[in-house]
């Protein structure tokens, strides 16, 4: 299998070695999946490694560059033209998704189109941001993606099913990724975020074989993308707290400090790095890329995005879903995540100040009532009911798991002070998140993102109804602490810190 051939002649890959050493400290190593990537090459001028990587991993067949229609520059030169020139000895051809000015959505139709265009390739090289990377993963994997749930099927405590053994299939097309911006952490895991029946879903896919992070390429990206990367990483101050909470209420099997530590240890450096991102400072971009790489690897070995994708991600997903249904452009994922992280940090503060753990035993809503609420919430943008049906499929699973986990919740009442302290140790204050976003020049409010306040409030109030991932929004809701007045109070708290609507 070509994809496992070692590329020993390439630059020493300290990131993968260091990550593996850190994961060896896991208290539950049996739950972790092996890293299926073979090389991560990051440096100031490493694009020239690409032909060696193609030689190491390609199978017989054409070399295809997969990209979108946006223009990209490296040191003032046309990046895509330079890549095609580098790959000219392999007779590389280009497949371009979308047209200039038109957004490419990672939906099943686009993946199917890419799959047809890449059929028979001996190697695919994606050149682009997270969306192109994810489409490339899904389009090059041996087994076509069918839209069935992956991690989102895990509320019963099981790890995801499917072809998720942590290695790429021998039949996957060899896949190399050129990261063109440090905007999201899609580049180093084996999942693809795709739009399924109008809902954002994270589906099992395949690992890239190799990743090239040329800091000259990243520095040439539009500032707004790398600033969005700072927003994406503010989720390390909210997402892990959601996963720890889910674990403590018996709805997540896998909180692992070794996994979370890959991106959370020393994450407070993000604040000083953020100001460097605004100046395109090389060392700051290098830190941001490395941290982003590690966060992606953490999700890959966990087999799910739960360690870093909590309420802040669900809010961003709802903004995207509303935009796509209404034909509006979607915002940058990381920028939205950063704005949402301020609100979620405010919610945690608000909840932890006043939460009586006895309310963990509040009666859960009847399924009929919960279903009617989801129909109403998602009917707003999708009168066909398709999206509500998709969301209920997973939310209903979460509700039943919550009811079934009553004994875990009873135990948590006594343990609450200690669990609360652990949760607090993972969080950041909303004003700190705002300060970090501002240092990078990233948006801090929904209006900065161009989101209208009604849609933004809708996303904040209802993001937990999207999927079966449990988190702080669910706790607030199921403990009677997420009424309209509560939503307004939390948004006001976020606004006082410089975020919110």
Query: Which residue, 63 or 236, has its beta carbon nearer to Zn ion?
Result: 236
Report CA torsion sign: 211, 216, 217, 222: positive
CA nearest 201: which of 418, 469, 13? 469
Closer to Zn ion by Cβ: residue 72 or 341: 341
Rounded distance, CA 246 to CA 256, Å?
12
Task: Provide the minimum distance between the beta carbon of 185 and Zn ion in the complex, in angstroms, as a whole number.
Answer: 6
Q: Which residues pair with 201 in a beta bridge?
A: 194
Which is closer to Zn ion, CB of 232 or CB of 248? 232
- Report in angstroms how near the CB of residue 221 gets to Zn ion at its nearest: 17
Compute the least distance from the CB of residue 49 to Zn ion, in Å.
27
The footprint of Zn ion on residues 410-439 (CB under 5 A) is none
**In terms of CB distance, is 151 or 232 closer to Zn ion?**
232
Beta bridge partners of 93: 64
Cα-Cα-Cα-Cα torsion 67, 73, 75, 81, nearest 10 degrees, comes to 60
Whether 341 and 234 have beta carbons less than 8 Å apart is answered as: yes
Instruction: Burial-class residue 101 by CB neighbours within 10 Å (0-12, 13-18, 19+).
Output: exposed
User: Which of 26, 432, 103, 450 is CA-nearest to residue 269?
Assistant: 432
Query: Is the C-alpha dihedral spanning 402, 404, 407, 408 positive or negative?
Result: negative
Minimum distance, C-beta of residue 458 to Zn ion, in the bound complex (Å): 20
Least distance to Zn ion from the beta carbon of 231, Å? 9
Residues 205-244 that bind Zn ion (CB under 5 A): 232
Find, among 333, 323, 257, the residue nearest to 292 by Cα: 333
* Closer to Zn ion by Cβ: residue 104 or 186: 186
Q: Which is nearer to Zn ion, 13 or 312 (CB)?
A: 312
Closest to Zn ion by CB, 189 or 232: 232
Q: Angle between the 333-354 and 406-426 helix axes, to the nearest 10 degrees? A: 110
CA nearest 343: which of 370, 322, 314?
314
d(CA 288, CA 308): 16
Under rule CB under 5 A, how many of the chain's residues touch Zn ion?
1
Q: Which is nearer to Zn ion, 232 or 477 (CB)?
A: 232
Least separation in angstroms between residue 147's CB and Zn ion is: 20
Q: What are residue 201's phi and psi, to 5 degrees? A: -130, 145
Which residue, 200 or 493, has its beta carbon nearer to Zn ion? 200
Ranked by CB distance to Zn ion, the top (closest) residue is: 232
Rounded least distance, CB 233 to Zn ion, Å: 9
Three-class DSSP labels, 179-242: ECCCCCCHHHCCEEEEEECCEEEEEECCCCCEEEEEHHHHHCCCHHHHHHHHHHHHHHHCHHHH
Least Cβ distance, residue 341 to Zn ion (angstroms): 10
Instruction: Write down the least CB distance from residue 481 to Zn ion, Å.
Output: 26
Shorter beta-carbon distance to Zn ion: residue 274 or 401: 274
Asked if 205 and 309 count as a contact pair (C-beta separation under 8 A), the reply is no
Q: How far is the CB of 307 from Zn ion (least distance, A)?
A: 11
Q: State the residue for tokens 């994810």.
A: 134
Residues that bind Zn ion (CB under 5 A): 232
């Amino acid at each position: 299998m070509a994809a496992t051939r070692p590329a020993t002649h390439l630059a020493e890959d300290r990131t993968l070695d260091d990550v593996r050493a850190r994961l060896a400290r896991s208290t539950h190593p049996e739950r972790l999946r092996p890293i299926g990537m073979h090389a991560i090459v990051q440096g100031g001028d490493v694009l020239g490694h690409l032909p060696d990587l193609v030689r190491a991993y390609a199978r017989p067949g054409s070399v295809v560059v997969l990209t979108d229609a946006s223009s990209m520059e490296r040191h003032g030169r046309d990046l895509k033209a330079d890549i095609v020139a580098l790959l000219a000895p392999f007779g590389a051809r280009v497949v371009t998704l979308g047209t200039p000015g038109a957004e490419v959505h990672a939906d099943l139709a686009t993946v199917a189109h890419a799959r047809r265009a890449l059929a028979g390739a001996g190697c695919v090289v994606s050149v682009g941001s997270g969306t192109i990377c994810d489409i490339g993963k899904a389009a090059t994997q041996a087994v076509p993606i069918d839209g069935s749930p992956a991690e989102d099927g895990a509320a019963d405590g099981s790890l995801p099913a499917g072809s998720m053994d942590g290695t790429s299939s021998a039949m996957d097309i060899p896949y190399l990724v050129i990261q063109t911006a440090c905007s999201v952490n899609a580049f180093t895991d084996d999942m693809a975020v795709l739009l399924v029946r109008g809902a954002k879903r994270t589906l099992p896919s395949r690992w890239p074989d190799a990743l090239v992070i040329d800091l000259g390429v990243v520095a040439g990206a539009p500032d707004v993308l790398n600033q969005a990367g700072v927003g994406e990483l503010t989720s390390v101050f909210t997402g892990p707290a959601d996963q720890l909470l889910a674990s403590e209420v018996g709805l997540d099997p896998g909180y692992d400090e070794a996994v979370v530590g890959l991106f959370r240890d020393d994450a407070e450096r993000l604040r000083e790095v953020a100001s460097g991102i605004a100046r395109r400072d090389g060392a700051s971009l290098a830190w941001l890329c490395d941290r982003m790489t590690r966060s992606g690897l953490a999700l890959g070995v966990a087999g799910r995005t739960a360690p870093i994708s909590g309420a802040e991600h669900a809010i961003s997903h709802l903004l995207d879903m509303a935009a796509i249904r209404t034909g509006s452009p979607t915002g940058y994922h990381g920028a939205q995540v950063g704005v949402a992280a301020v609100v979620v940090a405010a919610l945690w503060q608000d909840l932890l100040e006043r939460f009586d753990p006895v309310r963990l035993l509040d009666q859960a809503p009847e399924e009929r009532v919960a279903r009617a609420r989801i129909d109403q919430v998602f009917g707003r943008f999708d009168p066909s009911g398709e999206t509500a049906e998709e969301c209920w499929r997973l939310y209903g699973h979460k509700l039943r798991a919550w009811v079934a986990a009553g004994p875990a919740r009873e135990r948590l009442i006594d343990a609450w002070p200690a669990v609360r302290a652990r949760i607090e140790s993972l969080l950041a204050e909303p004003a700190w998140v705002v300060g970090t976003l501002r240092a990078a020049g990233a948006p801090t409010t929904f209006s900065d993102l161009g989101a209208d306040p009604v849609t933004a409030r809708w996303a904040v109030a209802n993001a937990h109804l999207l999927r079966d991932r449990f988190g702080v929004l669910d706790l607030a809701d199921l403990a009677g602490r997420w009424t309209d007045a509560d939503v307004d109070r939390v948004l006001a708290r976020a606004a006082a810190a410089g975020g919110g609507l």
